[in-house]
Amino acid sequence: MNRLKRLLRPLGLALCAIGALVILGFVDRTTSSAPIAEVKVRVLGGEGMHFIDEQGVRTELIGQGSAVVGAASGQVDLAGLEQRLRAIPCVADAEVYHDLNGVLHVSVSQREPVMRVINADGSSFYIDADGFTMPTDEDYTARVPVAMGWLQEPGAAHGVIDVNAHDTLVSRYRSDDLHRLAVFLRRDPLWSALIDQVVVGPDGQMELIPTVGGQRILIGDGSALEQRFAKLRLFYEHGIPKADWRRYARIDLRFSDQIVCTKRTNPSAP
């Protein structure tokens, strides 16, 4: 009897596996033939970001001639829809799938800008948290630091560019330094609240203009940010409380182990 049980056990397992495959095949055929009855769209992104909304996603799907609603689930090109949505410059990622109830789920993640770059010719674009460029929007402006000055950065009319790519094109520009600075600033609540403008000189040297005080803070080419901002923090904590904010016109952090300050000729001037 025990021997018979040992012989029947593999057979039973095999029959169960075959039954499961049959059921899965039936469910797959049923799901593939079921029509899409509804499209649910979810737009993800940082708080208050409005580069694209639910209606914009739906317009993109319908505007490309995608007869989604009413089509059999198996005939909907999910990968193609994802690719089309990811091609939108302000979209970082997209996921599209359908469920057993005939609902097509569309999830879109917006890019999160960390700095706006304004070129010398007036063209502008954003750099996002991952280091990719994205266009500005006529209806929505992100509250991020603005970089300007001697800039001729690609990104305003060159599609989505990885500013940290190490090729001959990108290495000629300053967008990678600006991205590194922007990410550094947003990590610290003090710097994020204090710094709202960056001015880049013809030699690539960067100056920061804080929201209070009216000084120009020189940080150089954007290297050694941890050390330079640590000095600035000490200066704000121990130097500024003993003096008037308006006394200094320039704070230079470029030198090792020291801060060089230039006083205003008229300290009472704004």
Half-sphere exposure of 176 (CA within 13 A, CB side): 12
Q: What is the pLDDT of residue 23?
A: 44
Percent of the chain with pLDDT over 70: 79
Tell if the pTM clears 0.85, that is, is over it. no
SS3 state at 107: strand
- List pLDDT tens digits, range 24-73: 444 444 456 688 888 999 999 877 788 999 998 988 887 655 567 778 88
Q: Are residues 139 and 185 in the same domain?
A: yes
- What tokens appear for 20 in the block? 């499961």
CA distance 173 to 222: 13
Q: What is the pLDDT of residue 111?
A: 94
Judge contact between 247 and 214, C-beta under 8 A: no
Q: What is the pLDDT of residue 219?
A: 95
Q: Are residues 245 and 222 in the same domain?
A: yes
Judge contact between 214 and 196, C-beta under 8 A: no
Q: What is the pLDDT of residue 13?
A: 54
210 in a domain, yes or no? yes
Q: What is the pLDDT of residue 86?
A: 93
Domain that includes residue 246, residue range:
113-263
Q: What is the pLDDT of residue 103?
A: 92
Judge contact between 115 and 130, C-beta under 8 A: no
Q: What is the pLDDT of residue 244?
A: 65
* Per-residue CA distances from 184 to 109, 115, 165, 243, 254 (Å): 23, 11, 19, 28, 17
Q: Are residues 104 and 140 in the same domain?
A: no
Q: Are residues 62 and 86 in the same domain?
A: yes
4 in a domain, yes or no? no
Q: Are residues 188 and 54 in the same domain?
A: no
Q: What is the pLDDT of residue 188?
A: 95
Pick left, alpha or beta for residue 257 (phi over 0 → left; psi -120 to 50 → alpha; otherwise beta): left
SS3 state at 251: strand
Last residue within a domain, chosen from 90, 110, 130: 110
Q: Are residues 125 and 259 in the same domain?
A: yes
Last residue within a domain, chosen from 71, 90, 110: 110
Q: Are residues 138 and 252 in the same domain?
A: yes
Q: What is the pLDDT of residue 45?
A: 85
Query: Tell me, what amino acid is at 187?
Result: R
Provide the total of helices (H) and of strands (E) in the chain, helices listed first.
6, 12
Q: Are residues 129 and 182 in the same domain?
A: yes
SS3 state at 162: strand
Q: Which residue has the tokens 């397992």?
A: 13
Dmax over CA atoms of the chain, in Å, equals: 106
156 in a domain, yes or no? yes
Last residue within a domain, chosen from 76, 110, 144: 110
1 in a domain, yes or no? no
Q: Which residues of the chain have pLDDT under 50?
A: 4, 8, 11, 15-17, 19-30
Q: Domain containing 155 — which CATH number?
A: 3.40.50.11690
Q: What is the pLDDT of residue 65?
A: 53
Q: Are residues 125 and 238 in the same domain?
A: yes
CA distance 32 to 28: 6
Q: Are residues 121 and 216 in the same domain?
A: yes
226 in a domain, yes or no? yes
Q: What is the pLDDT of residue 148?
A: 97
- List pLDDT tens digits, range 4-28: 455 545 545 554 445 444 344 444 4
Q: Domain containing 46 — which CATH number?
A: 3.10.20.310
Q: Are residues 163 and 229 in the same domain?
A: yes
22 in a domain, yes or no? no
Number of domains in the chain: 2
Query: Tell me, what amino acid is at 99?
Result: D
Q: Are residues 118 and 153 in the same domain?
A: yes
Burial degree of 214 (CB within 10 A; 0-12, 13-18, 19+): middle
SS3 state at 174: coil
Burial degree of 41 (CB within 10 A; 0-12, 13-18, 19+): middle
Q: What is the pLDDT of residue 36?
A: 86
Q: What is the pLDDT of residue 169?
A: 52
